[in-house]
Amino acid sequence: MPWRYARHSAEHALPIGASEHAAVGQTVRAGDVLAAGATHGIAIRVAGARRIGVAVDDVARVMRVPVGAEVERGQILARTGRRFARAATAPVDGRLIHLRTDGDFEVAPIVGKWVVRSTLDGSVTRADDAVVAVEGEAWCLQGAAGYGPDAVGEIALAMDGPAGELVPNRIDTRMAGRILVGGARSAAEAITRAHACGVGAVVAGAVPAVGLRAVYGPETTARSSEASLDVPTVLCLIGFGATSLPVALYEPLAAMGGLRAAVHSATARLFVFAPPAEPFGRDEPSFVLASDWSTVRPVEEHMAMSTATRFPSEFVADALAAPDGAVPVANVRRFDAPREVLA
Amino acid sequence: MRGTLAGGADLVTTLVTNDPRRFVERAAVLRAARPDLVVACASERGDADGLVDLAEALRFGCAAQQPCPELMIQADDRVRARIADAAGLATTSALPDIRTDAGRDALVARIRALRRPSRDAVLRDEAVEAQAGEIARERGSVLVLDLDEARASLCHVSASGVLTSVHARLGIGATADVLLARVGVDGIRRWIPRPVDAPVLVERVFNRALWPGAVPATVAALTLEIALAREAIASALALADRAGIQAATYRAPGTVLLLGKLAELPRASAAVLVAIEGLELDGVTTVLREQGGVIDPVAIVAVTWPRRSATVRVSDDTGAHEERISRGSFLLMPTSGAVKLSASGADLRAEAASLSLGVVVDARGRPLAIPPRDAERLPTIARWHAALDALPPEPA
């Protein structure tokens, strides 16, 4: 089934500079802050052990502020002595980010703040300076690729039917914070307009690959990529170019308008928070890769197994008989068939 | 870099001691890279302090990573201890100088151990290298060229038995999108003998990357697969060149064995064309390909750049045939039975018991000059394909 209600786990990678994070076992809802921290500027190395005249192993004992604490310019980081005191002080307002093994300190100014929010309702199963993982139950749809930061919001439909396209003039600021279901295709113009209007994320059957490269840069690939920058969030469900959504994907999406949802970009998953009794489960659709690989389309018709067929490329392969000609079996697959190969 | 290429690692980032990025930026780069293995090389005495700085950034960026990255350190005992302390990682080990064979072998062994799905599993790279060794024992210097969904492997064994291998994550399927990001749209498009819009090309490559094992059913898809194959090989060779491996050894190997997706192309001539243009073969090379476990001699490729027009003579079971060659010529001389190649005006000499395709004479010069403008490029590329009859006719 494309839509599955199950217990899922989502890892949220944290940028450098986490100052606080949720505790393991804590219950969270999608959208809750899991971790917060600061973006650091250029760190300044402050002489520590040598300056205050203690052994490296003793620096921690004489420190006046813990690593990770915010400091003000001139604030004492570590100090020894009484009458003839020797101290290491913060050269700038910022944060004591690191204690080096040679006893020196790294102090960095704070140039921005960040927060990472949960994409699942559930409980925290891992929390450290690198990752906060949340486990919880939700309806989930596994997409092909996700781009941009995670997003949380209500689902809103912005298409006329399973073959409809997300057109820019249907997007306005009233959709701010929503997760927009953009139908079969969402072009770069619609994605950037949605982002400008504050839309949380765009979910589409297919996205033009060139549009993605225009929005996210020429190094964009067909794989999910996280980004902490101010860029749109896009979840591509089926492939690239154009397609139409099969009934098994479209009907549940159409019925989900107004429900809370979240996009977990790193794993290209759409979580929807609705009771398990909702009738979103459908038979799993199959897809066929176009003969020139330019599009992916759902298989709505019956395809009979054929014998080994010689194709115009002269490849001989097992084929399925479709109304418009034979299709290699390898070019037809279920929605959730693995997309990765072992390298 | 040579060791990482030979081990088949995906080199996610490189930091040098005089890297202009500062502490926090270095840590952010390392965290984003999520390395499984970090190699610290203190080749010079003065590198120690800089490497300790990098190791501090590694601890700041990756200490909480799970699983924790391993650290291999090439340095003397004192510096190694400093770097290990600064990095603060659970697993560190010593690495001999990676400029030596022992150092490279140790690095390759560790990388392969990390890549191995189970203790007894044999990696495809290892199988390809073993096959290269076997062929080299029979035929002398050999290059085995293996191309699959996600990886391009070039294993060269010299006549004296020295193995140099490159295993790059640049394939024609699952990593085709990575290849596209690396070489750009024009890098792929330049090999396609018909007009293709950039947006359409990118979509085709991205869809293919999400579809492991897809079969190119049409000539258009086959053409793209052949273009990706050329560029994957050329890019792997460029990586080898950057790593200090003499690309010339790969370009004049004497014998080339084609494996994987390249060997599975329906027309042997297409596989030969990819090998010639991807590697930019030089000199005289016998091309073999493996299909169904059988190694079949396909063609002799004779590359020349004659001062004046030269005459190539090919003798086979049907008699002797001569062709006049001038600069820019590219042609196939089909053969039957035992083949003997000689030439006047060019130093070309070879023999083979039989060839399924024949003798390919290439006087296009090196490096290959591909016209930049479509008006000249399309007929040129089409002519090269037609010379070897590499593509099936388009259906009416």
The three-state (H, E, C) secondary structure of A263-276, written as one string: EEHHHCEEEEECCC
Parallel, antiparallel, or unpaired for β B294-303 and B358-362? Answer: parallel
Summarize pLDDT for B256-306 with one digit per residue, the tens: 999 999 999 999 999 999 999 999 999 999 999 999 889 999 999 999 998
Task: Report how far residue A255's alpha carbon sits from residue A208's, in angstroms, rounded to the nearest whole number.
Answer: 26
Mutate which: B49, B125, B194, B206, vs A, most A CBs within 10 A:
B206
What is the least distance, in Å, from the CA of B6 to any CA of chain A?
A: 14
What is the least distance, in Å, from the CA of B299 to any CA of chain A?
A: 20
Q: Kindly determine whether residue B215 and residue A330, on different chains, have CB atoms separated by under 8 Å.
A: yes
Residues carrying CATH 3.90.190, chain B: 2-115
As a whole-number percent, the residues of chain A with pLDDT over 70 amount to: 97
> Residue B379: helix, strand or coil by DSSP?
helix
Question: Of A96-105, A137-146, A231-240, A273-282, which range is least confident?
Answer: A273-282
Tell whether omega for the bond before B372 is within 30 degrees of 0, i.e. cis: no
Greater confidence, B247 or B337? B337
Summarize pLDDT for A48-67 with one digit per residue, the tens: 999 999 999 999 999 999 99
What is the pLDDT averaged over residues B223-227? 97
What type of residue sits at position A308? Answer: A
Spell out which residues of chain A touch residue B152, defining contact as CB-CB under 8 Å.
none
User: Left, alpha or beta for A340 (phi > 0: left; psi -120 to 50: alpha)?
Assistant: beta
| Distant-in-sequence, close-in-space partners of B74: CB < 8 Å, separation ≥ 6 | B39, B40, B41, B42, B43, B94, B95, B96, B97, B98, B103
Spell out which residues of chain A touch residue B215, defining contact as CB-CB under 8 Å.
311, 315, 317, 328, 330-331
Spell out which residues of chain B touch residue A210, defining contact as CB-CB under 8 Å.
198-199, 202-203
pLDDT at B307 over 90: no
List the single residue in B82, B178, B199 with the smallest CB-CB distance to A208.
B199
Spell out which residues of chain A touch residue B216, defining contact as CB-CB under 8 Å.
293, 311, 313, 315
Residue A111: the pLDDT is 95
Q: Kindly determine whether residue A220 and residue B171, on different chains, have CB atoms separated by under 8 Å.
A: no
Task: Report how far residue B58's alpha carbon sits from residue B23's, in angstroms, rounded to the nearest whole number.
Answer: 9
Residue B308: the pLDDT is 84
Q: Kindly determine whether residue A98 and residue B23, on different chains, have CB atoms separated by under 8 Å.
A: yes
Question: Of A28-32, A139-143, B65-69, B306-310, which range is least confident?
Answer: B306-310
pLDDT at A170 over 70: yes
Task: Report how far residue A89's alpha carbon sits from residue B264's, in angstroms, rounded to the nearest whole number.
Answer: 68
What is the least distance, in Å, from the CA of B125 to any CA of chain A?
A: 10
Task: Report how far residue B357's alpha carbon sits from residue A292's, in angstroms, rounded to the nearest whole number.
Answer: 28
Spell out which residues of chain A touch residue B82, defining contact as CB-CB under 8 Å.
101
Task: Report how far residue A106's alpha carbon sits from residue A122's, in angstroms, rounded to the nearest whole number.
Answer: 36
Question: Given this chain, do its domains A3-37+115-272 and A42-108 carry the same CATH topology?
Answer: no
User: Left, alpha or beta for B297 (phi > 0: left; psi -120 to 50: alpha)?
Assistant: beta
- Token readout for B336 is 């039957």
State the helix-helix crossing angle for B219-242 and B268-279, rounded to 10 degrees.
30
Helix (H) or strand (E) holding A332: strand A332-334
Task: Report how far residue B21's alpha carbon sits from residue A231's, in angstroms, rounded to the nearest whole number.
Answer: 24
Q: Kindly determine whether residue A295 and residue B178, on different chains, have CB atoms separated by under 8 Å.
A: no
Contacts across the A-B interface (CB distance below 8 Å): 190
What is the least distance, in Å, from the CA of B147 to any CA of chain A?
A: 11
As a whole-number percent, the residues of chain B with pLDDT over 70 amount to: 100
CB atoms within 10 A of CB B7: 24
| Distant-in-sequence, close-in-space partners of A166: CB < 8 Å, separation ≥ 6 | A158, A159, A180, A182, A183, A185, A186, A187, A190, A194, A202, A204
Q: Kindly determine whether residue B266 and residue A144, on different chains, have CB atoms separated by under 8 Å.
A: no
Q: Kindly determine whether residue A222 and residue B211, on different chains, have CB atoms separated by under 8 Å.
A: no
pLDDT-derived band at A175, boundaries 50, 70, 90: very high
pLDDT-derived band at A343, boundaries 50, 70, 90: very low
Nearest CA in chain B to A145: B210
Residue A228: the pLDDT is 63
What is the least distance, in Å, from the CA of B154 to any CA of chain A?
A: 15
What is the least distance, in Å, from the CA of A233 to any CA of chain B?
A: 18
> Residue A224: helix, strand or coil by DSSP?
coil
Contact between A88 and A107 under an 8 Å Cβ cutoff? The reply is no
* Buried-state track A12-40, b at ≥16 Cβ within 10 A, e below 16: bbbbbbbbebbeeebebbbbbebbbbbbb
Task: Report how far residue B341's alpha carbon sits from residue B380's, in angstroms, rounded to the nearest whole number.
Answer: 27
- DSSP class of A330: G
List the single residue in A219, A313, A338 with the smallest CB-CB distance to B216.
A313
Closest CA to B3 of B89, B95, B69, B67: B95
Alpha-carbon Rg for chain A in angstroms: 26
Residue A136: the pLDDT is 97
Greater confidence, B94 or A183? B94
Question: Of A35-44, A95-104, A242-251, which range is least confident?
Answer: A242-251
pLDDT at B187 over 70: yes
pLDDT-derived band at B245, boundaries 50, 70, 90: confident
Residue B210: the pLDDT is 92
According to DSSP, the residues that pair with B290 across neighbouring strands are: B295
Asked if the interface predicted TM-score (ipTM) of this complex is over 0.85, the answer is yes
Q: Kindly determine whether residue A210 and residue B199, on different chains, have CB atoms separated by under 8 Å.
A: yes
What is the least distance, in Å, from the CA of A204 to any CA of chain B?
A: 15
Residue A342: the pLDDT is 45
Residue A262: the pLDDT is 97
pLDDT at B387 over 90: yes
Spell out which residues of chain A touch residue B180, defining contact as CB-CB under 8 Å.
221
Helix (H) or strand (E) holding A111: strand A110-117
What is the DSSP track for A23-46? PTT-EE-TTSEEEEEEEE---EEE
- DSSP class of B343: E
Length of chain A in terms of residues written: 343
Residue A339: the pLDDT is 67
What is the pLDDT averaged over residues B308-323? 92
Q: Kindly determine whether residue B222 and residue A313, on different chains, have CB atoms separated by under 8 Å.
A: yes
Contact between A98 and A104 under an 8 Å Cβ cutoff? The reply is no
CB atoms within 10 A of CB B44: 9
The listed CATH number (1.10.10, 2.60.40, 3.90.190, 3.40.30) that belongs to domain B2-115: 3.90.190
Q: Map tokens 């070897």 to a residue.
A: B388
Closest CA to B139 of B333, B340, B353: B353
State the helix-helix crossing angle for B176-189 and B219-242, rounded to 10 degrees.
100
Q: In what order do the strands lie in the sheet with B350-352?
A: B319-325, B310-316, B339-344, B350-352
What is the DSSP track for B183-221? HHHHHHHTT-SS---HHHHHHHHHHHHTSTT----SHHH
Task: Report how far residue A343's alpha carbon sits from residue B99's, in angstroms, rounded to the nearest whole number.
Answer: 27
Task: Report how far residue B107's alpha carbon sits from residue B13's, in angstroms, rounded to the nearest whole number.
Answer: 16
List the single residue in B28, B149, B215 with the smallest CB-CB distance to A16.
B28
Spell out which residues of chain A touch residue B10, defining contact as CB-CB under 8 Å.
343
Domain boundaries, chain A: 3-37+115-272, 42-108, 286-334
List the single residue in A98, A108, A294 with the smallest CB-CB distance to B200.
A294
Residue A340: the pLDDT is 62
Summarize pLDDT for B5-60 with one digit per residue, the tens: 999 999 999 999 988 999 999 999 999 999 999 999 987 778 889 999 999 999 99
CB atoms within 10 A of CB B304: 22
State the helix-helix crossing angle for B198-209 and A209-216, rounded to 10 degrees.
90
pLDDT-derived band at A145, boundaries 50, 70, 90: very high
Handedness of CA B290, B295, B299, B302 (dihedral sign): positive
What is the least distance, in Å, from the CA of A340 to any CA of chain B?
A: 7
Question: Of A135-149, A235-249, A256-270, which range is least confident?
Answer: A235-249
Handedness of CA B200, B206, B211, B216 (dihedral sign): positive
Task: Report how far residue B122's alpha carbon sits from residue B128's, in angstroms, rounded to the nearest whole number.
Answer: 10
Alpha-helix runs per DSSP H in B195-353: 198-209, 219-242, 247-251, 260-263, 268-279
pLDDT at A341 over 60: no
Q: Kindly determine whether residue A213 and residue B202, on different chains, have CB atoms separated by under 8 Å.
A: yes
Mutate which: B68, B215, B228, vs A, most A CBs within 10 A:
B215
What is the CATH T-level fold of the domain A3-37+115-272, as seen in this structure? Glucose Oxidase; domain 1 (3.50.30)
Summarize pLDDT for B69-100 with one digit per residue, the tens: 999 999 999 999 999 999 998 889 999 988 88
What type of residue sits at position B395? Answer: P
What is the CATH T-level fold of the domain A42-108, as seen in this structure? OB fold (Dihydrolipoamide Acetyltransferase, E2P) (2.40.50)
Task: Report how far residue A265's alpha carbon sits from residue A201's, in angstroms, rounded to the nearest whole number.
Answer: 10
